[in-house]
Structure 1
Amino acid sequence: MKRFIRGMLCVLLITGIASAADIEVFTSPNTDGKITPKSIEEAFKKAGFTISANRDMNGPFVKQFKSSEFDVYNLFTLYKMDMVLELAKKYPNVGLFAPMSMSIYTKKGDKNISVASLTAEAMAKIMGAPADDKTLHALRELVKKTLKEAMPDGVYQKLPYVSQKPKGELVTHFTMEIDPQDWEDELEEFKMGFEGELAPNGFVVAGFNNLGDEFEEMKYNEFDFYEVYSICKLPVIYTIAKTHPEAGAYAPCSLYLSKKKGSAAMEIAFPSVYNWMSSMALDDPKDIKVMEDAQEGMKSILTGLTE
């Protein structure tokens, strides 16, 4: 019997059926409405986080799609600069989660408020970092502590699914040759082309952070530049959030541009939509189509600019 149980556990782990949750949802009673996206933001500011954006999406949902499942739906992006620097020294792809994304939401007619965010293990998996990385776990513990301070009566929900084995690459990565010395004009030309392609393809810049300038202020000079766009495609988050409001743990997506000093390569990367599908066990063909369309749209933009 013991051998049978061990064998079944191996099968479950291999197939991804027993995978640990990538997303955690913290929910608090909020009958009096005193807990708001703004009050949650203030708690994170007090804890030393930089707020990139705290964007109300409910209004755009109603404006573009004429309906919403929510009374509150905010996409919240933030980062803790000292921890980002620690991570950057070990993992040059730190921009995948600097800023981190969270969703803050109240379903229509509900009296609770929830915040969805990624676990340290999920971020490590996508970054290719060790699952027990101390900095990622310290960051996660600070996030959880701050959520508890912002929502004292909150508890973690058990989500009604388990993550699946990814069906594609977790990170979409491009490399572009760039002058190791005279790179400024090439970077600006790339950014102009990139930003010019976003709106025609249905993408929106939800935020922008120049981590490179902050690294320099902190006396870390390994990069000529390190810039992060927060990119959102409204039909994607609207469609998925209707059944999985916790999807905001991945939205908006952080897409970074970086170049190490002396290097002739600009690195460009973002977490792919296969993270959404895997983490939330998505299998509805309509959900998958809207995500894969967005994935292919962004890949097409970057392919055209880097080839």
Structure 2
Amino acid sequence: MKKILKVFIGAFLVLGVSVCAAEIQNIQIFSVDNTKGTINAKSIEKAFNASGVVVDVNNDMNSIFSKRYGKVHHKNYNLAIFTNPKLVSKLMKKYPSIGLITPLSMSIYEDAAKNTINISTLSLAGMARVTKIPVTDPDLIEYAKAVDTALHKALPNGKYLSVNHNTKSSKPLTTEFAIEFELEDGDTYVDAKDSFEEEFESELGPVGFLIPKSYKLQHDDYDFFDTYSIIRFNAIYPVSKNHPDAGAYAPFSVVIYKKKDEKEAHIAFPSIENWISDLDIRDEATAKAVRETHGKIKTILEELTE
């Protein structure tokens, strides 16, 4: 036990995070003065890519929000998704739950009053929490360190802000389903999965979901391992008003995989309704939008896996 605790503390010290706090936070916010305006979402993307943490999508949400809702909440607000393919592949072998955070997400936002630019991502603790991968796993620690390196490269002289979010939840952290595909003559499991995903995708748009990107990952242990990055503007728009760091959770990921030695395929996503407690959302209309978003994606998957 002492050895495990020593590794746990060592991991956070390597990342430059204080372990003196009573609870380790699941979200981290890295910030720097940007009075001169020399740092922006594009320069941050370039720095991440140069650090080996690949940004696949980087969207200007103010452009979307202003057209859709006629109003924006922040001077600048971007949501981006990123991965480290090498580390994801290593973690897949041990923990299919890495798909729950593949890709990782971040919000990039400016505080006009303080002239700062900020990046919100999951911390090592947050990555371990939702995936149930041990916080002492060396590959997960390396992944968190890669994110930390990218943050420092993107925001030179930046620092982590104090965060005091709720770190516990009374609700399940993930929502999970299983299905056994029945193969028709000549079909493979990939064929059956493709048909399932085609139907899944067709159900998303009509209820307000968008797919910024999907991934088809390859590994010898799996018949297939796919993930989706999914967002619903009617949730993130109201949430981001008072909680711009919610970009550490949104877009969220849905993972669909089947191990070669198992009969069932598995589908899972991080439970969206946990945003309410995690971010201390008190506005009832905003909380309702979050619950509605969770309910809609859950209902779609329930119907498809019946």
Inter-CA distance 108–203: structure 2 relative to 1 (3 Å threshold): farther
Task: Give the SS at the match of 1:53.
Answer: strand
Aligned-residue offset at 1:165:
2.7
What is the CA–CA distance in structure 1 between the aligned matches of 2:106 and 2:127, rounded to whole Å? 13
Task: Give the SS at the match of 1:102.
Answer: strand
Aligned to 2:304: 305
Work out whether 1:208 is the aligned partner of 2:243. no
Aligned-residue offset at 1:262:
4.2
1:152-201 deviation digits (Å, cap 9, x = unpaired): 12111113x33153131101111111147722332122111111111111
What is the CA–CA distance in structure 2 between the aligned matches of 1:48 and 1:20, rounded to whole Å? 26
What is the CA–CA distance in structure 2 between the aligned matches of 1:29 and 1:164, rounded to whole Å? 28
What is the CA–CA distance in structure 1 between the aligned matches of 2:112 and 2:241, rounded to whole Å? 11
Aligned-residue offset at 1:122:
1.3
Aligned to 1:35: 39
Name structure 1 gaps, 5 residues minimum.
1-16, 216-220
CA contact (8 A) 2:51 2:153 kept: no
Instruction: Give the TM-score, by structure 2 length.
Output: 0.87
Cα RMSD, aligned residues only: 1.8
CA contact (8 A) 2:97 2:132 kept: no
Instruction: Give the TM-score, by structure 1 length.
Output: 0.87
What is the CA–CA distance in structure 2 between the aligned matches of 1:188 and 1:267, rounded to whole Å? 14
1:234-255 deviation digits (Å, cap 9, x = unpaired): 0111111100100000000011
Partner letter of residue 29 of structure 1? D
**Aligned length, in residue pairs:** 283
Name structure 2 gaps, 5 residues minimum.
1-20
Task: Give the SS at the match of 1:93.
Answer: helix
What is the CA–CA distance in structure 1 between the aligned matches of 2:287 and 2:22, rounded to whole Å? 22
Aligned residues with identical type, % of pairs: 36
CA contact (8 A) 1:52 1:77 kept: yes
Aligned-residue offset at 1:261:
1.5
List aligned pairs for 1:29-178, cutoff 5 A: 29-108=33-112, 111-159=115-163, 161-178=164-181
Partner letter of residue 28 of structure 1? V
Query: Which 4+ stretches in 1 moved above 4 angstroms?
Result: none
Aligned to 1:11: none
Partner letter of residue 265 of structure 2? M
List aligned pairs for 1:240-255, cutoff 5 A: 240-255=239-254
1:242-288 deviation digits (Å, cap 9, x = unpaired): 00100000000011111112432111111012432333233332222
Aligned to 1:184: 190
